[in-house]
Structure 1
Amino acid sequence: MFSLTPRVLVPVAAAFGFLGLAVYIASGQSFAFDRSLVLLFRVAGDPSTPVGPAWLREAMRDVSGLGSFVGLGMMTICATLTLWLCGFRHLAVGLALSVIAATLVSTGLKIAIGRERPDIVEHSALTFTASFPSGHAFLSAVTLLSIAGFIGLASRRRDITRVCLWLAWFMIVMIGISRVYLGVHWPTDVLAGWCLGVAWSSLAVAYLGRKMAAAEPAQEASRSPSLRA
C-alpha cells in the first residue's frame, strides 16, 4: 500500500515546488526577494564588489567550481569506477545514466525557459548559459545525492549512507550559496535547482537504483568486503 512517509512526501513536494517556480518564471514574473538577496552579498553602494575579504571571494569561486561540469563529472567518474571495480556494475551503470540524463535535462530547461542572469551586480564568474534553473544547484544535488544513495544501496549500511548524505548536503548548500554570492544566479534559480535535484535523485535511487541493486549477482557482492554489510 502506498504510504505518505517523508521519503515520499519530500521529493513530491520538491517536484511541485520546481514546477511552481518554473511556471512563474517562464511567465515573465519575478520575486522581489531575488534582488534583495543578491544585493545582500554586495558591498552597500558598490554592487560590483562582493562582501568579505579577497580570500572569501576566491574560496567561493573554488566552491562553485565543485558544481561545474568538470567537478561533478570527476566525482561521477570516481564513484562509478569505484562501484564497478567493487563488483556493483549494474549500480555503476545506473549512476552514470542518472547523471548524464540530468545534464541533458538541465541544458534543455535552460534553453526552454531562457531566463536572463542577474543584471544588477557585476558577475564574479564567467557564464555561458541561461539562468533558470541553476545547473550547478540542480546537477550537484542530482550527482551527490545519487552517489550517496547508490553507495548506500551497495553497502547496505545506514551509517555509511547517513555520512554520505550529510557530506552531500553540505556541498550542495555551499555550491548553491556560492552561485548567488558570485552574482551569476538569482536565489530562485538555485532553489528551483535544489527542488528538481531532490526529486530527480530520489526517483533515481528509489526506482533505478533499487532495480539495479536487485540485478547484482550475489557472488559479485561477496567479492566486495569493503562495501558489504
Structure 2
Amino acid sequence: MLQPRLLVPTAAGLVFLGLVGLIMSGHSFAFDTRLMLLFRDAADPSVPLGPAWFQEAVRDMTAFGSFVGLAFMALTAVLALWLCGYRRLAAGLVVSLLAALVVSNGLKMVIGRERPDIVAHTALTFTASFPSGHAFLSATTLFTIAGFVGLASRRRDIARFCILMAAIIVGLVGLSRIYLGVHWPTDVIGGWCLGIVWASVATAWLGRSMARSDPA
C-alpha cells in the first residue's frame, strides 16, 4: 500500500492530468457554475456574499498568493535557510520556485482557458484561467518551504506544523479566487493538485539531495 506521502501527490497528479485532458477537449463542468454562484447573492449574482469589510478581507487574502506576496515569503525562507548554514537547500528552493513560475505561465498559454464570465470580476486579471496561478504557486511555494524547513530542522513535528499552516493559507487563497469571480473552481483544484505534486517532488528529490550536501 502506498504511504500518504506517495498516495497524496499521486492522486493529485492524476486529478490534474484528468482536468487538463477534459479542459483541452472542450469539456465544461456544470458544478463550476453552481459553486461560483454559491458565493454570490441569489438575487444579483454580480454581488458577492458578505459585507464590504469581508469582501476587502478576501482581497487581502488573495494577495497572499500574488507574485509579490509569495516572493516575500520565499525570500524570508531562503534567507533563513542560508543564514542557518543550509545554503544548498536555500539555492534548491530558489531553483524550484523559479521553475514553477515558468511552468505556471507556460501552462496558461498552452491550455488557454477563458476566465469565468458569469459574474463580474472583483480583481484584475492578466493571464488565462487554467491552472489558477495563485492556487498553484501558493501551494508550490508554501508546501515546498514547509518541506525544506522540515528537512533542515530534522523534526517531524515542525514539518507537520509548517504543512498545516501552509495548507490553511493555500486553501484560503484558492477559495478567494473563486469568491472574487476570477477563476473557475476547477482552475483552483487543478492549481492545488499541481502544486502538491510539484512541492512533493521538489522536497523528495531536490530538497533531500541538497540537505545531504549541507552541514549537519
Q: TM-score, normalised by structure 1?
A: 0.93
Among residues 116, 126, 129, which one is paired with 1:128 in the alignment? 126
Partner-residue secondary structure (3-state), 1:179: helix
Pairing partner for 2:173 from 175, 195, 217? 175
Amino acid at match of 1:124: T
Alignment correspondent of 1:191: 189
Q: Deviations over 1:23-66 (max 9, x none)?
A: 10111111000000111111112121100110110000000000
Instruction: Pick from 63, 73, 76 the counterpart of residue 75 of structure 1.
Output: 73
Rg: which structure is higher? 1
- Aligned ranges 1:9-48 → 2 under 5 Å: 9-48=7-46
State how far apart, in whole Å, the 2-side matches of 1:63 and 1:77 are.
19
Cα distance in 1, alignment partners of residues 81 and 26 from structure 2: 44
Query: What's the counterpart of residue 106 of structure 2?
Result: 108
Distance 1:42 1:106 in 2: 28
User: Which stretch of structure 1 is more off in the superposition, 3-12 or 16-25?
Assistant: 3-12
Which residue identity is paired with 1:127?
T
Q: Within 5 Å, give how 1:146-165 maps onto structure 2.
A: 146-165=144-163
Counterpart AA for 2:133: G
Which letter maps to 1:136?
H
Alignment size in residue pairs: 216
Q: Which amino acid aligns with 2:166?
A: A
Question: 1:7 maps to which residue?
Answer: 5
Equivalent of residue 118 in structure 1, options 105, 113, 116: 116
For structure 2, the residue ranges without an aligned partner over 5 or more in a row are none
- AA in 2 matched with 1:159: D
Q: 1:137 matched to which residue of 2?
A: 135
Q: Any gaps of 5 or more consecutive residues in structure 1?
A: 219-229
Cα RMSD after superposing both structures:
0.8
Q: What are the superposed Cα offsets for residues 156-195 of structure 1, whole Å, 9 maximum, x if unpaired?
A: 0111111111100000000000000000000000000000
Whole-Å Cα distance in 2 between the matches of residues 35 and 217 of structure 1? 52
Q: CA deviation at 1:217?
A: 2.6
SS of residue in 2 equivalent to 1:49: coil
1:66 corresponds to? 64
Displacement of 1:69 in angstroms is: 0.4
Alignment-derived partner of residue 86 in structure 1:
84
